[in-house]
Homo-oligomer: A and B are copies of this chain.
């Protein structure tokens, strides 16, 4: 069965299983992540205090660690929740927002990689390149020009092998690899870069898919594909209005997705 078919099946299953996804994430896009998870059929929970982070992880089906607005208080919660997830076999999706942009982010990334076994790393080319030790320079939270010259398939595959996990690099073409299998996703739309949080939402819904079954490569492909399709649906419907409507349209798109639509719209090459 193709990864498209698997992903489409998981989309249906999400609305039956309603996996609980624990998010330790940034305060910029947290509302979008919650609504994206609800739209795709999962149930979001946000909790970042060290006194409860592990308890919440323990009742969840998946954990997202997103360092978008990193602070010293929540780093400890990320580590504690990550360890709990590892002990209980709960998948961990890591979104290294802005990795490379400050020493604090870089030290935190290193610490998370040392103390937590990541299931899926999801970022843009700069972030993934940085995390895997392949990067030059990052400019804020966007892809730097230097890193843009890297081949994303190469970078993703190297990252997957170095880190021993599934890696999803989102960009003009999205790459998902576990070091062996590679999916190239030709969905999505460039306008998505003009809405904050499309990357964070992608990581969140990827965790929803990861929370339902064992295959992280399929989960990451399903998550990134779902977001791309939601972007296309939104683009077709409301992009002419502007980026505010487009943002709303992306959530609408996620809630409109279903198995049939995914199979029809998906443009995924398996390599």
Interface hits, A171-190 → B, CB 8 Å:
none
Is there an interface contact between B251 and A56, defined as CB atoms closer than 8 Å?
no
A69 touches B47 (CB 8 A): yes
Considering the chains assembled together, what is the distance between the CA atoms of A241 and B30 in angstroms?
22
The contact of A39 among B27, B30, B35, B194, by CB within 8 Å, is: B194
A-B contact pairs, 29 of them (CB 8 A): A27-B30, A28-B30, A29-B34, A31-B197, A35-B195, A38-B193, A38-B194, A38-B195, A38-B196, A39-B242, A39-B243, A39-B244, A43-B140, A47-B102, A49-B72, A51-B102, A51-B103, A52-B70, A52-B102, A56-B102, A59-B139, A59-B140, A242-B251, A242-B252, A244-B247, A244-B249, A244-B250, A244-B254, A248-B248
Instruction: State whether the Cβ of A48 lies closer than 8 Å to any Cβ in chain B.
Output: yes
Q: Does chain B have a CB within 8 A of A45? A: yes
A252 touches B243 (CB 8 A): yes
CA distance A130 to B237 in the complex (A): 44
Give per-residue flags for A9-50: 1 if the beta carbon is below 8 A from chain B beta carbons, else 0: 000000000001000001111111011001100011111110
A245 beta carbon closer than 8 Å to chain B:
yes
Residues of B within 8 A of A26 (CB): 46
Task: Report the count of interface residues on A (CB-CB < 8 A).
Answer: 62
A260 at the interface (CB under 8 A from B): no
Least Cβ–Cβ distance between A15 and chain B, in angstroms: 10
Q: A71 to chain B: which residues have CB within 8 Å?
A: 48-49, 73
| A149-185 CB contacts (< 8 Å) to partner B | none
CA distance A255 to B240 in the complex (A): 10
In this complex, what residue of B is CB-closest to A55?
A: B102
Residues of the B chain whose Cβ atoms lie less than 8 Å from the Cβ of A46: 26-28, 68-69
Q: CA–CA, A59 to B98, complex, Å?
A: 12
For the complex, give the distance between the alpha carbons of A242 and B244 in Å. 15
